[in-house]
Amino acid sequence: MIVVMSRNATKQEIDNVENKLQELGFKTHPIFGEVKTVIGAIGDKRILNTVNITTMPGVESLVPIMKPYKLSGRELKQTPSVIDIGGITVGSRELAVIAGPCAIESEESFIETALKVKEAGASILRGGAFKPRSSPYSFQGLQEDGLKIMAKAREITGMKIVTEVVDTRDVELVASYADVIQIGARNMQNFRLLHEVGLTSKPILLKRGLAATIEEWLMAAEYIMDAGNENIILCERGIRTYETSTRNTIDISAIPVVKELSHLPIIVDPSHAAGNWKYVGALSKAAIAAGADGLIIEVHIDPPNALSDGPQSLRPSKFKQLMEEFQLVASAVGRSVR
């Protein structure tokens, strides 16, 4: 339910309504707009049949929230959210380009990659320390040692870092190192994990599940928001279809659909969508043209010898060349890369 306060409602009146709603067992989410304040009230709306909130001073009207994703949807919050990562924004005019290897493999290679993607214009560094691999025999990541390398790379390059957490038991550890915590496609509906990262104050990069509908994806965001963390960046990374010539099928329509349904920013991962570095440029440009707020791209200094996802990783020189091409597409749609 949305309680719309009148234009001239006082701070005291807003507080009184919020307190009353909390007393009735609702979770409240006030949004202070330029003209009006609205209070999102999440809870059992049948209670409102017994109490008349509309007669409270300062209240203009009560509007139901029709969609199941109450906090991530546009009904409660109409203005787009801009996520701040220590001064780098996602959801503003400027596109955020996140780049780096699939996994952190060694200190030397990670720092070399970091310096190269920074020079090419990437604003955030990526690198997995805990890797969700399809085979238990594949490289699983350097785990805490990887996080330490990540911290060192941040110190040297000044770049903010995004890394994945795959287990509730590691959330605190990962949050103590990362600037942005990634929830991977395979864990999009790991509700305990979503709740746990929702208790942290770090921005969350929430990837779309392998076969998740947009509604299921927004409901996953809802779990994180319900736990108290509203700093979410959605990431389209390709979905499972019958097509086998690419690793996944990029869902470009997800960009305008998410923009209509949600206030959260959305970025695109063309690397995991394509599974082949040759298609990364084209998919990235399509994503920018369709209104994505950024990209997350795998870059490796020696793709043939990468411990994971080599075939889809760009060499730093190719990434640099593409960054210049991205700038052209971005300016055609009123955005910029840097």
Q: Contact residues for ligand PEP (CB under 6 A)? A: 102, 128, 132, 184-186, 207, 237, 269, 272
| Amino acid code (one letter) for 161 | I
DSSP state of 80: P
- The pattern of x and - marking residues 171 through 190 that bind Mn ion according to CB under 5 A reads --------------------
Establish if 125 lies at the interface with Mn ion (CB under 5 A).
no
With respect to Mn ion, which residue has the nearer C-beta, 102 or 188? 102
Name the minimum Å distance from CB 235 to ligand PEP.
7
- 97 contacts 122 by C-beta, under 8 angstroms: yes
The closest alpha carbon to 117, from 138, 88, 145, 97, belongs to 97
Name which of Mn ion, ligand PEP, none residue 127 binds, using a CB cut-off of 5 to 8 Å depending on partner kind: none
Q: How many residues bind Mn ion (CB under 5 A)?
A: 2
335 binds, among Mn ion, ligand PEP, none (CB under 5 to 8 A by kind): none
**How near is the Cβ of 293 to ligand PEP at its closest, in Å?**
17
Contact window for Mn ion (CB under 5 A) among 15-23, 67-75, 254-262, 304-312: 304-312
State the pairing for strand pair 59-63/37-42. unpaired
Stretch that binds Mn ion, among 26-34, 95-103, 104-112, 210-218 (CB under 5 A): 95-103
Kindly state the smallest distance separating residue 60's Cβ from ligand PEP, in Å.
Answer: 43
Pick between residue 26 and residue 110 the one whose CB is nearest to ligand PEP.
110
Stretch that binds Mn ion, among 19-27, 238-246, 309-317, 325-333 (CB under 5 A): 309-317
Residues 24 and 50: their CA atoms lie apart, in Å, by 10
> Could you tell me if 290 and 94 are in contact, meaning their C-beta atoms sit under 8 angstroms apart?
no
Interface stretch with Mn ion, choices 19-27, 54-62, 307-315, 329-337 (CB under 5 A):
307-315
| 246/63 Cα distance (integer angstroms) | 45
Q: Does the footprint of Mn ion cover residue 309 (CB under 5 A)?
A: yes
Residue 237 contact among Mn ion, ligand PEP, none, beta carbon within 5 to 8 Å by kind: ligand PEP
Q: Are 224 and 38 in contact (CB under 8 A)?
A: no
Do the beta carbons of residue 169 and residue 152 sit within 8 Å? no
Closest CA to 123 of 88, 163, 164, 150: 88
Q: Which residues does residue 160 pair with via DSSP β-bridges, in sequence order?
A: 124
Report CA 29 to chain centroid distance, whole Å: 20
Instruction: State the DSSP H helix or E strand holding residue 271, giving kind and residue range, or none if neither.
Output: helix 270-274
Tell me if 114 sits within 8 A of 75, measured CB to CB: no
Q: How near is the Cβ of 269 to Mn ion at its closest, in Å?
A: 9
| Least distance CB 133 / Mn ion (angstroms) | 10
Least separation in angstroms between residue 328's CB and ligand PEP is: 26
Q: What's the half-sphere exposure (Cβ side, CA atoms, 13 Å) at 220?
A: 28
User: Should residue 102 be labelled a site residue for Mn ion when binding is judged by CB under 5 A?
Assistant: yes
129 belongs to the binding site for Mn ion (CB under 5 A) = no
Question: CB under 5 to 8 A by kind: which of ligand PEP, Mn ion, none does 116 bind?
Answer: none
| Residues 203 and 83: beta-carbon distance below 8 Å | yes
Q: Which chain residues interact with Mn ion by CB under 5 A?
A: 102, 309
